[in-house]
């Protein structure tokens, strides 16, 4: 299933960035989701007037996947997360930036 590959990739990236499980409480999670804007949103003169202002999927759906992926990697369990700030936007290239404190 694609979610398993996604979770494994998130966990691997977190480990590569030096994440280790903590039992600290509360944890603050800050997530910046940038999605590449599809070419279909443009016409020759630029961005279409009716192009979506925000990308899909829902922030909450992405957040749940990220939190589950980081169980045992950045924290013991995602119940430790007490504050979450999520921002999503379009950009030239897709990326996800996660800060944990």
Whole-number pLDDT of residue 2: 87
CA–CA dist 59, 100 (Å, integer): 17
Residue written as token pair 């998130």: 10
What integer is the mean pLDDT of 58-73? 96
Range of the domain at 12: 2-100
User: What CATH number is attached to the domain comprising 87?
Assistant: 3.30.1330.70
Q: Is the confidence at residue 1, as pLDDT, over 90?
A: no
What integer is the mean pLDDT of 70-85? 98
Q: Is the confidence at residue 66, as pLDDT, over 90?
A: yes
pTM of the model: 0.89
Q: For residue 79, what are the contacts with CB-CB under 8 A and spacing of at least 6?
A: none
Count up the domains in the chain and report the number. Answer: 1
Cβ neighbours of 11 (radius 10 Å): 18
Beta pairing class for 81-91 and 46-47: unpaired
């Amino acid at each position: 299933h694609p979610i398993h590959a996604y979770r494994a990739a998130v966990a691997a990236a977190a480990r590569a960035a030096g994440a280790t499980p903590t039992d600290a409480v509360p944890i603050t999670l800050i997530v910046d989701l940038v999605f590449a804007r599809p070419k279909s949103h443009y016409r020759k003169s630029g961005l279409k007037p009716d192009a979506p202002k925000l990308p899909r999927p829902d922030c909450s759906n992405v957040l749940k996947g990220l939190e589950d992926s980081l169980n045992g990697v950045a924290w013991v369990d995602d119940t430790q997360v007490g504050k979450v700030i999520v921002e999503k936007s379009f950009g030239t290239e897709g990326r996800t930036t996660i800060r944990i404190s």
